[in-house]
Amino acid sequence: MRYLLILAAFLLLPSLAVSATIYVPLNYPTIQAAVDAATHGDVILLADGVYRGTGNRNIDLKGKAITLGSKNGNPETCIVDPEGVYPQAGRRGFDLKSSEGPGTIVRDLTITRGVTDDC
């Protein structure tokens, strides 16, 4: 009986480590909502379009080892626009403040009109 329990545990472990693909806006309405729901190893894919407003600026990746990018791989058609125009300092596309490492990947996006705090 004990061996059967150990075997069941080993068979269950790989299913727990499966990464998910999350689609914005299909699964979550904003980039931040998708990041909040993601776990390490997940992939977040953005449909073509311009992402603005709350939940699509100052995006905190929370130190997660995730990949975030354009579903179609074309940065010209997938744009993050935090709408930062002087004097609206502090509107960024991404706010990388949670010790993101080499496992955190942002790719195939255009980030436009981001403003830093020291304007």
pLDDT by residue for the chain (119 residues), tens digit each? 555 555 455 555 555 568 999 999 999 999 999 999 999 999 999 999 999 999 999 999 999 999 999 999 999 999 999 988 766 667 889 988 888 999 999 999 999 988 766 54
71 Cβ contact list (under 8 Å, min separation 6): 23, 45, 46, 47, 48, 78
pTM, rounded to two decimals: 0.81
β-sheet bridge partners, residue 90: none
**What is the rounded distance in angstroms from the CA atom of residue 119 to the CA atom of residue 116?**
6
**What is the rounded distance in angstroms from the CA atom of residue 66 to the CA atom of residue 39?**
7
Domains of the chain, residue spans:
18-111
CB neighbours of residue 100 within 10 Å: 18
